[in-house]
Amino acid sequence: MSLLQKEAYDFRNQCLGLILGVTSAILSIFLLFVISDNGTFEKYSQARIVLINVLVYVAVLLAPFQLYKRYNHKVYGVNYFMLPASQLEKWLSMFFYCVIVTPIAVILIFALIDLCLYPFFPSTEKTLWITFSDTSIIHNFHRIKFLNTLITLFAFQSLMFLGNIWFQRAKVRKTIVAIFILIAIYITLSLIFVKILGMFITPYASVNLNISTSQIPEVWSIINKTISCLVAPIGLWIVSFMKMKEQQL
């Protein structure tokens, strides 16, 4: 708890920067939409879900590099390693601020600004809060889409999380290159797996055992989603913790 309080105080400038950055981005986009829409607010009010997705993505992906940019630094990193806290406490604190606090903060900032801009919206549009509490089919679709976006986001963020811990210099650039390499490897292995799965299913399909080659995309979709949205993020977070523990020794 003391580490969380200390880092909350240390992050005050970053928090202020986040508030100013998100607010400036929203208001700038709001004005651009209004100007391009001849003074009306319909296009902006319809684009808010996309906008918040983009803002949350950018903020969460960059959070490890912004909040813990001095981690692993030859000079400043020593002070962090010397803090009177276990590696598990440090990792949990990093996880808390990067994975939990940052997206919630961005959503709250967006919702507050959204609420302030509400009087300008057409009567058919709602604030972000009402949009997510609405039970209609169209708003359920937006809610499910947003949740799926967050799940995908955390999968990529776990790579950023590890990259910030693993690399000492040019962290963002090296992490992005590593992500492209991992994606290429994953796609290659996926194609090989699907090919093998097809070779396995085809003989059974030919003897009418209620197995069809059309099931391959469905089976692979389930496997792919489980790996990319559950197994990979958890595995990468475990690796990041093991790397922190190794660096402490």
Instruction: State which amino acid sits at residue 210.
Output: N
Long-range contacts of 79-88 (CB under 8 A, 24+ apart): 81/247, 81/248, 83/3, 83/6, 85/2, 85/3, 87/241, 87/244, 87/245, 87/248, 88/241
Extract the tokens encoding 151. Answer: 């799940």
| 159-168 pLDDT tens trace | 888 888 888 8
Extract the tokens encoding 209. Answer: 């055992």
Q: Are 121 and 41 in contact (CB under 8 A)?
A: yes
- Domains in the chain: boundaries: 2-248
> Could you tell me the pTM of the whole model?
0.75
Query: Rounded CA gap, 218 and 95, in Å?
Result: 33
Assign 249 a pLDDT band (cuts: 50, 70, 90): low
Extract the tokens encoding 178. Answer: 């590593």
- Under DSSP, the state recorded for 119 is G
Query: Rounded CA gap, 187 and 189, in Å?
Result: 6
pLDDT at 245: 80
Instruction: Decide if pLDDT at 125 tops 60.
Output: no
pLDDT at 137: 46
| 171-229 pLDDT tens trace | 888 888 988 898 888 888 878 877 776 666 555 555 454 544 555 566 677 777 788 78
% of the chain residues with pLDDT over 90: 1
Highest mean pLDDT among 39-43, 76-80, 101-105: 101-105
| 72-88 pLDDT tens trace | 776 666 777 777 778 88
